[in-house]
Chains A and B, each alone.
Chain A
Amino acid sequence: MIDAADLALLSEGLRSAMAEARSAAGLDAALAELGWRELLEESPDEAVALVFGLLGETGAHAPVLNDVLLHAMKRPLGGVVALREDGLAFGRPGEPSPADLDPALGLCRVAWEPLTDEALAAGRRALGLQIVGAGRTMLALAREHALARTQFGRPVAAFQAVRHRLAETLVALEGAQAALEHATDPMTAKLGKALAGRAGLTAMRHCQQVLAGIGFTAEHRFHLFARRVLVLDDLLGSASALTREIGESLEASRIVPRLVDL
């Protein structure tokens, strides 16, 4: 456990490293410099919540999901791990991959090895937290725009249809965040990732609509977060695929697990 003051300090350091980052490789190195790997070894839950939440919010990318998976498999950090059977992985150093929806993620192909249950759970929790972070930024961008943009003589934030879309977005994100705070094993991590994916897509839909024309331009940052959310949702199980899996396991066991208690 690290104390709250240290955590706040570290959080500021990480945030500025992410804001200044020029490349995935540069940020990877900067995070290592700031002690990411030691923190991951020492208090993995806090490390992942902090770093992945911030990666989501800032829209920066460093291939540190590899470390989360390696750590969960008790292997040395710093390598690359395939996320799918076709070998897709976050490259290290991570050259941009222009053919993909989100080139900044620097996707590459490596040899596939099945992930352990622990690795899958840790990876899902991390990706879920990153999606919620990205959703929060989409919401902030839409909120700012709604307050600044005037139509019919009023800020568009005064229109109830707009307000309710943004309220709906917050509800989805908070529900997912709460689930991720309770993601402590493979099943709860799966639920957390599914809820995060769903919330990310909800945020994308509503915020895009509120941002309207300006949000459809490459000049506005919205599209970067939208692209990111679509890819992160797909990795290690999309909301849609996981929801089906969860339903199948309910059907098979005919028991509804009470996964969290007071």
Chain B
Amino acid sequence: MHVDEFRTGLRAWLDEHDLRPVHDGSLDGHMAQLSRVRRALFDAGWMRWGWPEHAGGLGGPVILRAVLGEEVVARDLAEPGIYTLIEVLAPTLIRYASPELLGFVPKLLAGEETWCQGFSEPGTGSDLASLSTRAVRDGDAWVIDGQKVWTSLAQYARRCVLLTRTGGPGHRGISAFLVDMDSPGITVRPIETMHGRDEFAEVFFDGVRVPAARMLGAEGQGWEIAMSILPDERSSCFWQRIAYLYNRLDRLLAEAPAASPRQLGEAFLDLHAIRCRSRLTQHRRTRGDRLGAETSVDKVLLATAEQRLFDTARDLLPGAVEYGDSPWREEYLYSRAATIYGGTAEIQRNIIAKRLLSLGNE
């Protein structure tokens, strides 16, 4: 399946099948819409292209997933942030899960299940390797104690890709699990967020027993698994986010009465730069190149573009963020997190300085 063929077929299909959202804009509404869109796209096959056949996909180049993401977001069929979560979770499972666990992937793709990513902890943000949620072997199971935080969609999730400490300090003592969220001993407490859509939660683990077969990869391989997410996050996910931002610039142009050309030009230049950069990244990945530290450049370009766009919107639509009830407020506020999640802006610059510019240690 080629990109153009896929895109043409998909567009024709989407023109015929009305998947436009009908909900109140609440997080529950968004989640239900997401499941509906996934289900329909999965049944029609679109959602399965670009995923390997042994995981329930139809094969074909990974780039097809980015094309799908772009079309879904361009039509505002699903909220981009929650849509792309599978782009980081499913690939991890496909790479590291036993054949038995692979059976869960189609449920995720088809919108039957939501999963979450349990990495960050109260004491562990940027310095992920310092995490302290503990897993201790007990017969044919592991017993998990500890706490995760900022876990997006944990309150909806059926399963969690969880990082725990099974060994000594540092990278090598970390192991990953696929944990069922209804296991006894797990408590989820949603956290109220700044932008008003309470998308993340605290997750407490109190003597949670997880079968040994639920370990992803081998004992001590957790760090490698966590890092393997980056190429997925920074190709298909980014492309989709870029598509979303173009869509919002369209909206801004439609709504802004007397605009400021200079500011609009700057916002568009930022979007164009990340779009070109991301396209090169996707094609490198399709050719089979290993993506690495250079994707920190993509990450900084994207976060900068996102924040500039919403800053511009706030300037050109005076009051839209501050007063009354406009969708710009929530999205403006959410854009503030672009330099925080997925590795903060400072951490990206540290990586660029050390790995790309070889500036040695701090």
| Residues of A in contact with B (beta carbons under 8 Å apart) | 139, 143, 146-147, 155, 157-160, 163-164, 166-168, 170-171, 174-176, 178-179, 181-182, 191, 194-195, 198, 240, 242-248, 250-251, 254-256, 258-262
- Would you call A251 and B264 a contact (CB within 8 A)? yes
The residue that A182 contacts in the complex, of B63, B260, B276, with Cβ under 8 A, is B276
Q: Chain B residues with Cβ under 8 A from A147's Cβ?
A: 359-360
Q: Verify B273–A195 contact, CB threshold 8 A.
A: yes
- The 10 sampled A-B contact pairs (Cβ below 8 Å) are A139-B357, A175-B273, A175-B277, A191-B268, A194-B265, A195-B273, A246-B261, A247-B261, A248-B265, A256-B249
B246 contacts chain A at the CB level, 8 A cutoff? yes
CB of B67 within 8 A of CB of A262, answer yes
A62 and B265 alpha carbons, distance in the complex (Å):
32
Q: How far is the CA of A256 from the CA of B268 in the complex (A)?
A: 8
Let me know if B88 is at the binding interface, CB within 8 A: no
Choose from B260, B273, B277, B360 the contact partner of A247 (Cβ within 8 Å): B260
Contact A163 B265 (CB under 8 A): no
Contact status B277-A157, CB under 8 Å? no
Complex contact A260–B262 (CB within 8 A): no
The complex places the Cα of A250 from the Cα of B253 at a distance, in Å, of 8
Given A163-B353, A166-B359, do A255 and B297 touch, yes or no (CB 8 Å)?
no
Q: A155-B360, A160-B350, A160-B362 are in contact. Are A262 and B277 (CB under 8 A)?
A: no
The answer to whether B261 touches A244, judged by C-beta atoms less than 8 angstroms apart, is yes
Q: How far is the CB of A241 from chain B (nearest CB, A)?
A: 10
List 14 additional contacts besides A158-B361, A243-B269; criterion CB under 8 Å. Answer: A143-B358, A166-B357, A167-B300, A175-B277, A178-B279, A179-B276, A182-B276, A247-B259, A250-B265, A256-B249, A259-B272, A261-B279, A262-B63, A262-B282
Shortest Cβ gap from A181 to chain B (Å)? 7
Contact of B264 among A139, A175, A250 (CB under 8 A): A250
Q: A244 contacts which of B239, B262, B297 (Cβ < 8 Å)?
A: B262
Closest to B251 in A: A256
Q: Is the CB of B269 within 8 A of A198?
A: yes
Judge whether B63 and A247 touch: CB under 8 Å.
no
Interface centre among A155, A157, A174, A240 (most CB of B within 10 A): A174
Are A262 and B279 in contact, CB atoms less than 8 angstroms apart?
yes
User: Chain A residues near B63 (CB, 8 Å)?
Assistant: 262
Which residues in chain B, 261-288, are within 8 Å of chain A measured between CB atoms? 261-266, 268-269, 271-277, 279-280, 282
Contacts of B269 in A (CB 8 A): 191, 194-195, 198, 243, 246
Q: Is the pair B359, A247 in contact by a Cβ cutoff of 8 Å?
A: no
Chain B residues 29-66 with CB under 8 Å of chain A are 63, 66
Complex CA gap A237/B249 in Å reads 24
Give the residue among A139, A147, A174, A256 with the most B Cβ atoms within 10 A.
A256
**Chain A residues near B227 (CB-CB < 8 A):** none
| Residues of chain B contacted by A160 (CB below 8 angstroms) | 350, 362
Instruction: Identify A260's interface contact among B3, B276, B361, CB under 8 A.
Output: B276
Q: Residues of A contacting B274 with CB < 8 Å?
A: 175
Which DSSP category, helix, strand, loop or mixed, fits chain A's interface? helix
Contact between chains at B253 and A157 (CB < 8 Å): no
B254 interface residue (CB < 8 Å to A): yes
A256→B245 CA distance, assembly (Å): 11
Of A179, A251, A262, most buried by chain B (CB within 10 Å of CB) is A262
| Binary contact readout B66-77 vs A (1 if CB under 8 angstroms, 0 otherwise) | 110010000000
A167 touches B349 (CB 8 A): yes
| Chain B residues, CB < 8 A from A260 | 272, 275-276, 279
Q: Would you give the shortest CB distance from A72 to chain B, in whole angstroms?
A: 22
Tell me which of B265, B276, B282, B361 contacts A243 (CB under 8 A): B265
Task: Give the residue name and chain of the A residue nearest to B266 (CB).
Answer: A243
Write the B167-188 contact mask toward A (1 if CB under 8 angstroms, else 0).
0000000000000000000000
Contact A158 B297 (CB under 8 A): no
Give the docked Cα–Cα distance between A262 and B6 (Å). 12
Indicate if B317 sits at the interface (CB-CB under 8 A).
no
Say yes or no: A247 contacts B246, CB within 8 Å.
no
Mark each residue of chain B from 241 to 252: 1 if its CB lies under 8 Å from any CB of chain A, else 0. Answer: 000001001100
Q: Are A182 and B353 in contact (CB under 8 A)?
A: no
Which of A143, A171, A175, A242 contacts B359, CB < 8 Å?
A143
Pick the residue among B66, B261, B272, B300 that contacts A251 (CB under 8 A): B261
B271 to chain A, nearest CB (A): 8
Interface centre among A158, A159, A182, A247 (most CB of B within 10 A): A247
Q: Which of these, A146, A163, A251, A254, contacts B349 with CB under 8 Å? A: A163
Contact in complex: B359, A146 (CB < 8 Å): yes
CA distance A170 to B276 in the complex (A): 16
A171 to B348, CA, bound (A): 10
Whether the Cβ atoms of B362 and A182 lie closer than 8 Å is no
A157 x B272 contact (CB < 8 A): no
* In the complex, B356 has a CB within 8 A of chain A: yes
Cβ of B246 and Cβ of A170 under 8 Å apart?
no
Q: How far is the CA of A135 from the CA of B264 in the complex (A)?
A: 25
A31, chain B: closest CB distance, angstroms: 29
A170 touches B262 (CB 8 A): no
B272 touching A191, Cβ below 8 Å: yes
Whole-angstrom distance from the CB of B249 to the nearest CB of chain A? 5
**With the chains together, A254 CA to B261 CA distance in Å?**
12
